[in-house]
Amino acid sequence: MAIQNEQYEMIMMETMDRTEKTVSVLNGEYVTIRAGRANPHILDKVLVDYYGSPTPINQVGNLSVTEGRCLVIAPWDASMLKVIEKQLLAENLGITPVNDGKVIRLVFPALTEERRKELVKQVKKMAEDSKVAVRNVRRDAMDGIKKMKNNKELSEDEHAVCEKEIDKLIAETIEKIEKLCAEKEKDVLSV
């Protein structure tokens, strides 16, 4: 039975939007974790001073992966080489940039077993933080429909149906988070 209540529909839409954003943020965080292979996305949050304005590295040059473990940054403006190199060192990525005068190379070392285990812990913590965020979204949605019930805008039966729909959405979102976590964990542990 679908509930025909504008206020409830607003609560559901907001709940869906917030859960989707949580999954999207987790996915974005997972992309920046390096798993032994060169991944241009680890530079997504790195900003360089491009003529006075902070600019993402991928907007000042080409990023390409060579030989699986080497990321090459070829700036469009050669004068940016030193600026990019300095910023990469300041970001403390755990990789030393190599500047040959034309491009900057980031050679990703093979991950040790110990480092892989640390990354898996980090992946699991991120997933758990996302689950907590989703549970907070659930709490907010439940508070909203409880207020509606107390204000006699929803009957007991409608309230029960609303609770089930919210719980179903939250369960599906947590399942997505666990799936993402498992995929990233497998990616990190694969040699």
Task: Give the type of residue at 10.
Answer: M
Residue pair 145/166 in contact (Cβ under 8 Å)? The answer is yes
**54-69 pLDDT, tens digit each:** 888 888 888 888 877 7
SS3 175: helix
Q: Whole-angstrom Cα distance, residue 153 to residue 141?
A: 15
CB-based contact 153:5 (threshold 8 Å): yes
Identify the CATH number of the domain in which residue 59 sits: 3.30.1360.40
For residue 190, is pLDDT > 80?
Answer: no
Q: What angle do CA 22, 28, 32 make, to 5 degrees?
A: 145
Per the structure, the complete domain to which residue 28 belongs is given by 6-32+112-189
Average pLDDT for 28-48: 78
Residues 117, 28 share a domain: yes
Is residue 109 over pLDDT 80? no
Query: Tell me: the pLDDT tens digits for 136-179?
Result: 999 999 999 999 889 888 888 888 888 999 999 999 999 999 99
Instruction: Identify the domain boundary among 107, 126, 147.
Output: 107
Q: How far apart are CA 112 and CA 118, in angstroms?
A: 10
- What's the pTM? 0.72
Q: What pLDDT does 46 receive?
A: 83
DSSP-derived letter for residue 1 is -
* Domain count for the chain: 2
Higher confidence at residue 3 or residue 40? 40
